[in-house]
């Protein structure tokens, strides 16, 4: 009967047992989807209102999405015409990950209802249906044979079709990111993390991301424009500035993390006091931007304040780097850690009592005015293309331009002669010096460039938050930015890459911001994340090819077999020890 159904649907014949398992997986995905249209609890006290029959809400929407993906990928594994392009590298691994994501999201929701409302009695029959339905794909997906294969070359598509694929991919990405930032309660954000994590991992295993990467590499200019337009469109999707502020801070910290990536990722210099350069730029901008609490009666225009903050950070980078960069390894890390603490203590002491009256000590510099550029006040709402953009939306667009500038600097520097010298110093400073590279000068350039990029971001941060205080610039603290946060963003995301620190900073800022209870355990979370990453993906979430080859065995160094002769004079093979 199964064979008849398969032929009728136009599916490539396969082993009957495997085909049956795939059809059951399709049914499990559809059952998981259908269960979201049932009530999971009887009371609206649980956020998201999961009491409505016939209309999914809250966390049910995430289960619906993952159930749909399970069904679609299971149909693709059956060879349905038109769906094969979803899994060019095989569908079994992707189905397993999607099934885990489905049961993870669904059971997390049901457990949260039970714990928060006080017992299993608060679950409606729809909740039990969802629990059973989400377990079916897990069982069947892990019974399927592994069909992992090398992705075949895709069929050539017209240029307009490939451009549309790129645009659609960035549109979906914008929606997914916006959904995560706009989540209103911790339970929904936790479910979002579970769903997105397993779904993205499944897309990688299926080979769909690699195929999309090949298309974007073919149309690099279109990709860059689409990425910028998608990022710039974010504030136009917001009705208030509540979540736009989160996005602004993400861009600030991502930009600073990219600057640190120059120092750590390219040059291999372990800097534990990098947040001090962010503070130098912020304090400089606060002093020269006309704040009523500034010790100097000056008010620089926008461009002058930004340049002043960047230049002062550059000077500090050179002054601090010149005597310390002759050190290596742990010694350099200790010295940079000391510089970060010295900066914070000096800012505390410049209060008019312990030292000159410059920074107001622990009170900081408040009342920093909003930026104004050619009559455009960033602190006021503006109507653009019929959309009302608030103050934080203005700063978001400004910070987006700064991020683009930093990305451009990083990419150009990394591909230049000095960038290759940084990599050589990182891999083996002694060998690089023997080949004629001036190690001290190359490291000083990296240190100064990283400091300048951090100072640039600090000038914008001062105006966004309208105040700067010494406690904002510590090695570790409950609220980012801090040096530990920035270093973790670079390592988790992937050292030496552009998208890695951007992703790392986004995750490490959003998770504490959305899950408030984690702020008291931030360092614990960093430690656990780093341990897991070093165990399962030491090259980072997004790594370049060099790092993948360094951290994973490739078999290239295996000892070849040696030929020996036994007593009878017959040659036998013997594996090398």
- For residue 478, the model assigns a pLDDT of 60
Indicate whether 75 and 158 sit together in one domain: yes
Domain assignment of residue 159, given as a range: 16-229
CB-count exposure of residue 61 (10 Å: 0-12, 13-18, 19+): middle
CA dist 93 and 203 (Å) reads 10
Q: Evaluate whether residue 576 is within a structural domain.
A: no
CA dist 96 and 91 (Å) reads 9
Of 229, 257, 273, the position where a domain reaches its end is 229
Q: How far is CA 312 from the centre of its chain?
A: 30
Indicate whether 168 and 135 sit together in one domain: yes
Helix (H) / strand (E) containing 18:
helix 16-35
Q: Evaluate whether residue 452 is within a structural domain.
A: yes
For every residue of 385-446, DSSP letters joined together read TTEEE-HHHHHHHHHHHHHHHHHHHHHHHHHSHHHHHHHHHHH-HHHHHHTT--HHHHHHHH
- For residue 558, the model assigns a pLDDT of 44
- For residue 546, the model assigns a pLDDT of 64
Indicate whether 88 and 27 sit together in one domain: yes
Indicate whether 312 and 448 sit together in one domain: yes
CB-count exposure of residue 379 (10 Å: 0-12, 13-18, 19+): middle
| Structural domains counted in the chain | 2
Indicate whether 180 and 255 sit together in one domain: no
Indicate whether 420 and 452 sit together in one domain: yes
Q: Evaluate whether residue 234 is within a structural domain.
A: no
Which residue reads 């990182």 in tokens?
Answer: 426
Indicate whether 245 and 224 sit together in one domain: no
Indicate whether 455 and 310 sit together in one domain: yes
- pLDDT, averaged in runs of 10, over the chain (577 residues): 43 73 94 94 88 90 95 88 81 93 95 92 92 95 88 78 91 91 88 93 90 87 90 86 86 89 85 88 88 80 88 90 80 86 88 80 84 78 76 87 88 85 85 85 89 90 87 73 82 83 86 75 74 79 68 50 41 39
Indicate whether 180 and 217 sit together in one domain: yes
Read off the tokens for 490. Answer: 């670079």
Q: Evaluate whether residue 236 is within a structural domain.
A: no
- For residue 513, the model assigns a pLDDT of 79
CB-count exposure of residue 125 (10 Å: 0-12, 13-18, 19+): exposed
Read off the tokens for 481. Answer: 């930015």
- For residue 242, the model assigns a pLDDT of 81
Q: Evaluate whether residue 385 is within a structural domain.
A: no
Indicate whether 122 and 255 sit together in one domain: no
Query: Do 500 and 494 form a contact (C-beta atoms < 8 A)?
Result: yes
Q: Rounded to two decimals, what is the model's pTM?
A: 0.82
48: left (phi over 0), alpha (psi -120 to 50) or beta: left
For every residue of 32-97, DSSP letters joined together read HHHHTTS-SBS-TTSTT-TT-TTS--THHHHHHHHHHHHHHHHHHHTT-TTTGGG-TT-SHHHHHH
Indicate whether 161 and 253 sit together in one domain: no
Of residues 361, 351, 393, 353, the one with CA closest to residue 376: 393
Q: Evaluate whether residue 527 is within a structural domain.
A: yes
Q: Evaluate whether residue 2 is within a structural domain.
A: no
Read off the tokens for 5. Answer: 């159904």
> CA gyration radius for the chain?
27
- For residue 131, the model assigns a pLDDT of 95
Query: Do 495 and 267 form a contact (C-beta atoms < 8 A)?
Result: no
- For residue 273, the model assigns a pLDDT of 85
Q: Evaluate whether residue 135 is within a structural domain.
A: yes
Indicate whether 426 and 477 sit together in one domain: yes
């Amino acid at each position: 009967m199964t064979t008849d159904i398969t032929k009728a649907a136009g599916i490539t014949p396969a082993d009957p047992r495997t085909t049956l398992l795939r059809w059951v997986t399709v049914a499990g995905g559809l059952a998981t989807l259908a269960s979201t249209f049932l009530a999971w609890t009887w009371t609206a006290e649980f956020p998201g209102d999961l009491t409505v029959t016939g209309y999914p809400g809250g966390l049910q929407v995430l289960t619906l999405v993952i159930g749909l993906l399970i069904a679609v990928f299971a149909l693709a594994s059956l060879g349905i015409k038109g769906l094969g392009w979803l899994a060019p590298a095989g569908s079994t691994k992707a189905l397993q990950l999607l099934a885990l994501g489905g049961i993870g999201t669904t059971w997390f929701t049901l457990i949260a209802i039970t714990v928060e409302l006080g017992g299993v009695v608060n679950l409606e029959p729809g909740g039990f249906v969802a629990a059973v339905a989400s377990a079916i794909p897990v069982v069947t997906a892990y019974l399927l044979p592994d069909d992992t294969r090398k992705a075949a070359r895709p069929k050539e598509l017209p240029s307009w079709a490939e451009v549309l694929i790129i645009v659609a991919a960035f549109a979906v990405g914008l929606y997914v990111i916006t959904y995560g930032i706009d989540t209103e309660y911790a339970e929904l954000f936790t479910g979002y993390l579970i769903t997105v994590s397993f779904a993205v991992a499944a897309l990688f295993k299926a080979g769909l991301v690699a195929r999309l990467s090949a298309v974007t590499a073919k149309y690099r200019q279109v990709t860059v424009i689409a990425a910028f337009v998608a990022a710039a469109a974010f504030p136009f999707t917001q009705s208030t500035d509540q979540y736009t502020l989160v996005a602004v801070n993400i861009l600030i910290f991502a930009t600073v993390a990219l600057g640190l990536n120059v120092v750590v990722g390219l040059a291999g210099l372990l800097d534990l006091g990098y947040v001090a350069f962010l503070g130098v730029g912020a304090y400089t901008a606060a002093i020269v931007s006309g704040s009523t609490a500034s010790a100097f009666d000056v008010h620089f225009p926008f461009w002058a304040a930004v340049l002043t903050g960047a230049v002062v950070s550059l000077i500090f980078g050179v002054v601090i780097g010149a005597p310390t960069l002759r050190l290596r390894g742990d010694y350099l890390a200790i010295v940079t850690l000391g510089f970060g603490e010295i900066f914070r203590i000096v800012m505390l002491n410049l209060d008019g009592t312990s030292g000159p009256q410059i920074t107001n000590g622990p009170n900081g510099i408040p009342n920093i005015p909003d930026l104004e550029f050619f009559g455009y006040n960033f602190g006021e709402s503006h109507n653009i293309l019929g959309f009302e953009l608030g103050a934080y939306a203005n700063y978001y667009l400004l910070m987006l331009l700064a991020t683009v500038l930093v990305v451009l600097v990083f990419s150009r520097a990394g591909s230049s002669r000095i960038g290759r010298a940084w990599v050589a110093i990182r891999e083996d400073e002694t060998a690089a010096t023997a080949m004629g590279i001036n190690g001290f000068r190359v490291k000083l350039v990296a240190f100064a460039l990283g400091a300048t990029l951090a100072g640039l971001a600090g000038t914008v941060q001062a105006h966004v938050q309208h105040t700067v205080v010494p406690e904002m610039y510590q090695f570790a603290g409950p609220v980012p930015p801090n040096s530990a946060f920035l270093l973790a963003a670079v390592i988790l995301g992937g050292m030496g890459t552009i998208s890695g620190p951007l992703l790392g900073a986004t995750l490490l800022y959003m998770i504490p911001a959305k899950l408030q209870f984690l702020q008291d355990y931030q360092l614990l979370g960093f430690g656990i994340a780093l341990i897991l990453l070093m165990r399962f993906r030491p090259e980072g979430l997004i790594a370049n090819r060099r790092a993948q080859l360094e951290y994973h065995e490739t078999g290239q160094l295996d000892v070849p077999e040696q030929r020996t002769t036994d007593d009878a004079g017959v040659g036998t093979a013997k594996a090398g020890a």
